[in-house]
Structures are given as C-alpha cells and as structure tokens.
Amino acid sequence: MSLKEDINFSLWCDFIERDFLEKQFQDLIKDEVIQGATSNPAIFASSIANSVAYKQQLEILQANNAKTIYEELAMTDIKRAAEVLEPMHKDDYDDGFISLEVDPTLCDDANGTIEEGIRLFKTIGHDNVMIKVPATQAGYLAMEELTSQGINVNATLIFSPQQAINCSKALNAGMEKSITECKAVVSIFVSRFDRLCDTEFKAKGIETSKLGIINAVKCYHEINKFKNKNIRALFASTGVKGDELESTYYVDNLLYPNSVNTAPLATIEDYITSGSKEPSEIISENECDEFFKMLSSHDIDINEIYDTLLTEGLDAFKVSFEELLAKIKA
C-alpha cells in the first residue's frame, strides 16, 4: 500500500543541510520515502554551525551584514532543494515543496512579513517554494496577501484550533482573490504539548502522550471544514524526546488523509524500518471535544497551554535567529 497514492498522505523532511541535499535527501526522494522538506531558523543555525559545507561561501560573504549573509546561505540551500524536488512537484502539485521562513522578528509586522515574503519568493524563483509565516494576528494578514499574489504559504506555529481556523480563513480568502493557483499547509505543532503537560497529567491520573495528538486532530477537522483542496493540515514537531515513546509515535498515529507530516531526519530513518505503513484510525471531532471537557474537569486551562506554547515557540525562533546571525559574523 502507498499512503501517498491511497490517502494523499505526505511525509516531508524537517531538515536542510548542504551535503545532505546532494546525497541522502535525493535517495529519500528516489525511494519515495519523502515528498517534500521544510526549514526554520533553528535548523539553519544548526546546519551552518556544524557543517564545513558553508565555510567557503561564508568567507566570501563576510563583507555583508549578518542577515544578508544568512539569506544568501539559506537561499542557496532552498534553491537547491527546490531544484531536486521540482520533478516531483510537476508530477503532483500537492507535493515537492520546500519551505523558507521569514525573519522571526517580523512576527508582529504584517507589512514587513509581506514585503520579505514576496522578496524571498521572487529571488529564489521556483514555484515549489513555500514562504513560512507564523500564525499571529500580523501573520494572518500576511498569509492572505501572499496567497492573493499566488505565493505558496506554510502557516506555522499553530497550537490552538482557533489559530487553525484563522489561518484557514486567511489562506482561503487570499486564494479566492488570486488569479494564480497556489498551495498552503497549516502546520500544527504536536509533541510540545506532551512535553509541557505530561508531568502534570500523570500526577492527576490523566493519560499521557495524548493531548498533542488529540489537539492536532481537532485542528485537522477545523481545517477540513473549509473544503479547500489547496489547503492541507501539516503535523509538525513530531519528533519524540527520551525513550518513553516509540520514535515514530507522532507519525504512526497521524497518518491521516490529505495531510502532511514533517518529521526530523532521525524519525524518518526510524519510520523507514519500523514505522506504520497503514492509515491511522481517525479520531472523531466529538472524541476530541470530550477530551478537552475532561481536561477542564481536572482544572486544566487549555487556553493557557496554547498561550504558553505560542509564546515559547515565537521566542525560540527569535533566539535561534539571533544566535545564528551572531555566529555568522563571529
């Protein structure tokens, strides 16, 4: 069975590094293991700091400011990934995408996000690039404007169903205005819920390693209510920490129709050998709602959890970006 062919489930790799793009990345595509890739400031920070593949270009660019250097390095990798993925994209317009995030410090600046998103998309010059935009109030405005101009968008840092709804509204509205078809994904973060809450849940006798999946499925149902074939739910942050769960836990339990799972490279490698290759049983929206009611009965404020995770997510991306810029000019 092919999950891609049978239920339109796609696995994307949440990793970018220059040598990887020329070797293992292409093998994973050829073997039909992955159908796309994503990046973020933390990924680039790690790749650039730990790989000698960037040394020569870094030296050549040193006369520029740090952000210009970062963009040149990142866009070189994104262009290469787009080239490698382009044949897949031509065969299946749902897939073959690579994502590049706008400057995280622009998360509350709609105009700045729009300007940078347009500039990055045009500079890279490949129609299988997605511009990654955080799900903030400014981000929703940017998502609508970018899609209205035919630019593919990866809406990121979604924790709450309301964020998923707001993203879908913005993307749907932008697509309705665009004369050029484009695609979008709504990236729902999963594992961070369980890492934040499991200690408290265990103390209260609540099933652990469950909230991340339940919340993601609730968001999935909300996105699908828009019935827009060009907007898919994407399950992100699906790596596990520690040994309590199978490494492919957040992939195996979210093999849903018309969805994407973007996983770390190590998780994908484990999935190849031991992950589930059968569709997951779909959790109903009613079951999700009942779980949230149960949490409320245990005095757990889900909205407080959403706010905490969003704040932490935005701050972490900003810190990663600042650290990256500092290392580039060190």
pLDDT at 264: 96
**pLDDT digit string (tens) for 10-51?**
999 999 999 999 999 999 999 999 999 999 888 888 888 888
In a 3-state reduction of DSSP, which class is residue 189? strand
Would you name the residues annotated as active-site residues? 132
- Axis crossing angle, helix 285-297 with helix 211-224, rounded to the nearest 10: 130
pLDDT at 8: 96
244: Cβ contacts below 8 Å, ≥ 6 apart: 209
Residue 270: count other Cβ atoms within 10 Å of its Cβ: 18
Domains of the chain listed by start with CATH number: 3-328 (3.20.20.70)
Mean pLDDT by 10 residues, the chain (330 residues): 90 96 97 95 84 92 94 96 97 96 96 98 98 98 98 98 98 97 98 97 97 98 98 97 92 98 97 95 98 98 98 92 84
List helix spans (H) across 130-160.
137-148
pLDDT at 153: 98
pTM of the predicted structure, to 2 decimals: 0.96
pLDDT at 330: 64
pLDDT at 263: 97
pLDDT at 327: 82
